[in-house]
Amino acid sequence: MMDDQQFLPERLRMVETQIQYRGITDPRVLETMRRIPRHRFVSAKNQEEAYDDYPLPIGYGQTISQPYMVALMTSLLHLQGDETVLEIGTGSGYQAAVLSCLVRKVVTIENIPELCTASKKVLRSLSINNVEVLCADGSNGYPQMAPYSGILVTAAAPKPPVSLFNQLSADGRLVIPVGGLGDQTLQVWSQEDGSWQVDSILPVAFVPLRGKAGWSSSDWL
């Protein structure tokens, strides 16, 4: 395994050519993307590709998202620094690590036990202590720690689960890919004058959301 510092030039180049180039301007998000060692969240055989402009497999039919997508979804939450946010779909733990630098508390849920264990291990190795990883069906959120200032879903749902809206604070934002299998739109939901509004950001292709509020097993197997 290469030392973290050996990857620093690649990480800086990733931010400049993939993230800033595409219009992400939030300085806190950019600085966080420069800091978090993405290569720690992929397998040894994929480390040389860790800062390339595409998602990578992490096992169990799951992926670590393209760096730009992580930065974009993070920036769409409009984080200020004192929030509690919920992530649905921990995966490798990389998105949670990015969020951890920008908020007070991250609650992240993963339903694949092996990924829960692996993500906890890498987060601990990086001394990231404000992320709580839960192994459960997160498709309906986690009301025990609501309300959240932001909810970020890293898997695609056929429609936004109603339960997630109920777990957002009045000024909270839900970022979620919505649509068919392999063909979705990234949406941002927020309240305006007491009613929910949606902004469609761009076409995306995420793995399907599993669980009670996601796709049935016959749809995604």
Inside any domain, residue 140: yes
| pLDDT tens string 117-171 | 999 999 999 999 999 999 999 999 999 999 999 999 999 999 999 999 999 999 9
Q: What is the pTM of this model?
A: 0.94
**Is 35 a domain residue?**
no
Mind telling me the catalytic residues? Answer: 65
Q: Which domain holds residue 141?
A: 66-220
CATH of the domain at 97: 3.40.50.150
Give 153's contacts (C-beta < 8 A, 6+ positions apart).
Answer: 87, 88, 89, 164, 174, 175, 176, 177, 209
**14 located within any domain:** no
Residue-wise pLDDT tens digits, 79-102: 999 999 999 999 999 999 999 999
Whether 163 is in a domain gets the answer yes
First-to-last C-alpha distance (Å) of the chain: 33
**Residue 4 within any structural domain of the chain:** no
Give the count of domains, the chain.
1
In a domain? residue 55: no
In a domain, residue 21? The reply is no
In a domain, 89, yes or no: yes
